[in-house]
Amino acid sequence: MHEGSPSPNEKPPSTRWAPGAGAARGRVRRVTAVVAVLVPASFAAWLMWQSVGGSAEAGKPAPTLMPLPTSSEQDSQSAGGRPSGHGDGEATPQPSGPERKPLAGRTVVIDPGHNPRNREHAAEINRTVDIGTSRKACDTTGTATESGYAEAEFTLDLARRVRTGLEKLGATVKLTHDGDREWGPCVDARAEAGNKAGADAAVSLHADGAPAGERGFHVILPESVDEGAADTRAIVGPSRALGRELVSAFQEFTGERPARYISGGKGVDTRGDLGGLNLSRVPKVFLECGNMRNARDADGFTDSKWRDRAARGVTEGVAEFLEGKR
């Protein structure tokens, strides 16, 4: 549940070497060299045989001469029968490089919505903060499944999985909190975390608390606002691109569909009343991963394997966005 609510593959380019005209010329040179060596040798053997009176016509067996290699055999020798780099102009193959890190040098901030301990700190989270367009509560407790699995527990677990995935791709990942706070942080501080990090992308993870009959996920995009401390005009476009990639990847890896109760099932909603978006100066979206009050969605939230798939969806969506910005 988002803030303020009452108590949800282009593969890397191939590095295979494809032989071209230079390789063809190399093969011609190899055939010429072999002929130049073998013909004189064969002729010398024939002279030696003649000198001892040998002749096929005389009823004696003729010497067996080594046949010249065919062009296909030349290619086979070059490819696997002997090392290259043997004086014919070809370079010696080098060992493959280190694992590809497409997000090296990129910074991502992941914001696990709410905090499992917020319920113990009502006074602190109920104080209001300025979000530019209005004032709102510092934070809320979030929602939970019917079985009592808290949204804050889910978002923290998912954030850690996403961090692992993005770090494997080379990104620097920062969480707004990592289970190490008594409460919060407040929504304005969550936005500031992305700004201070100079993040290339920021994603706030949530789960909705809609009526039990509704299910599905959606992404919330920042509305264009310019009021008080809020100015999202520069990030509306890139945030929309980030949201689009997240919708596509999250659907692909989880098999879930966008919520029909939001924006007609398009998977996106645009809002100007969320401090986490209003105060951001970097591309940022909220991802509502589903509806915690819906039994089928709740089955996913409480399944570790589903959370792995959800984390993969978030990771891939962020990666597609960042690689597209290069």
Let me know: does 206 contact 151? Beta carbons within 8 Å. Answer: yes
- Burial (CB count <10 Å: 0-12, 13-18, 19+), residue 264: exposed
Instruction: Give residue for tokens 């090296």.
Output: 104
Let me know: does 253 contact 106? Beta carbons within 8 Å. Answer: no
Instruction: Give residue for tokens 């910005």.
Output: 325
CA dihedral in degrees (266, 272, 278, 281; nearest 10)? 50
How many other C-beta atoms are found inside a 10 Å radius of the C-beta of residue 105? 10
Collapsing DSSP states into helix, strand and coil, what is residue 205? strand
CA dihedral in degrees (103, 167, 10, 249; nearest 10)? -120
Q: Is 288 a catalytic residue?
A: yes
Q: Which of 151, 288, 316, 320 is catalytic?
A: 288
Q: Which two tokens stand for residue 280?
A: 């951001």
Say how far apart CA 85 and CA 30 lie, in whole Å: 12
Let me know: does 131 contact 196? Beta carbons within 8 Å. Answer: no
- Burial (CB count <10 Å: 0-12, 13-18, 19+), residue 26: middle
Say how far apart CA 37 and CA 48 lie, in whole Å: 17
Alpha-carbon torsion (178, 180, 184, 189), positive or negative: negative
Q: Which two tokens stand for residue 34?
A: 């072999």
Active site residues: 288
